[in-house]
C-alpha cells in the first residue's frame, strides 16, 4: 500500500503525522466528514493531463478543478481530466481514487490550489478508501514543493 511509501518518507524526513481509519468512503467530502475534517482542509487529488503529460492537481474537497483556468495558470494549450487507464499503473500500491498528494514519490508534477495553502493542517487519502493521513501543510509544502496555481 502506498501509505507505507508515504509513512516511510515522512519518517525519514522527521515529519509528525496522524493516521485515521474510517469505514469505506469514496468521495473527498464523504471521507472528510468520516474523519471530522472540514472539507476545505481535506486535500483531494485530481489526475489531469497537461498537454498530454500526467500531473496531480491537489485542492480542497469543497472545490472543483476548472480545466480552462488551470490551463491558463500553467501556460498550457490543453488540460483535461485523466482517465483511470491513464494513471492506474503510476500508483500500483493505491486503490484507484485514493492516491496521496505526494506526486513527487510517483515521478509526477504536483499543482496545489491556493485555497488549500491557507490550511494549517491538511488531511488526505493515504492509498485506500479507509485510511487518511493528516499533517501540517507546511511539511507537505516543504516535501512536495507543489506549484501553487489557480485550479
45 grid coordinates = 487529488
Q: How confident is the model at residue 92 (pLDDT cuts 50, 70, 90)?
A: confident
From residue 96, alpha-carbon distances to 54, 92, 125, 138, 147 in Å are 15, 9, 11, 27, 24
**120: domain CATH number?**
3.90.960.10
Q: Which residues, 6+ apart, have CB-to-CB distance to 67 below 8 Å?
A: 48, 79, 80, 81
Number of domains in the chain: 1
Residue-averaged pLDDT of the chain: 92
**Mean pLDDT of the 28-41 span:** 92
pLDDT of the residue at 73:
94
Share above pLDDT 90 across residues of the chain, in percent, rounded to a whole number:
75
Residue 1 pLDDT greater than 50, yes or no: no
Task: Convert the pLDDT of each residue in 2-23 to its tens digit.
Answer: 578 889 999 999 999 999 999 8
Structural domain containing residue 55: 2-148
Amino acid at each position: 500500500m502506498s501509505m507505507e511509501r508515504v509513512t516511510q518518507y515522512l519518517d525519514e524526513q522527521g515529519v509528525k503525522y496522524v493516521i485515521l481509519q474510517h469505514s469505506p468512503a469514496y468521495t473527498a467530502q464523504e471521507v472528510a466528514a468520516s474523519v471530522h475534517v472540514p472539507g476545505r482542509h481535506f486535500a483531494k487529488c485530481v489526475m489531469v493531463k497537461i498537454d498530454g503529460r500526467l500531473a496531480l492537481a491537489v485542492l480542497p474537497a469543497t472545490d472543483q478543478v476548472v480545466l480552462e483556468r488551470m490551463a491558463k495558470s500553467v501556460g498550457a494549450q490543453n488540460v483535461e481530466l485523466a482517465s483511470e487507464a491513464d494513471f492506474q499503473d503510476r500508483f500500483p500500491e493505491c486503490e484507484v481514487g485514493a492516491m496521496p498528494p505526494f506526486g513527487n514519490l510517483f515521478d509526477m508534477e504536483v499543482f496545489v490550489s491556493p485555497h488549500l495553502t491557507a490550511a494549517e493542517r491538511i488531511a488526505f487519502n493515504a492509498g485506500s478508501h479507509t485510511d487518511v493521513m493528516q499533517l501540517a501543510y507546511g511539511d507537505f509544502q516543504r516535501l512536495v514543493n507543489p506549484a501553487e496555481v489557480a485550479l
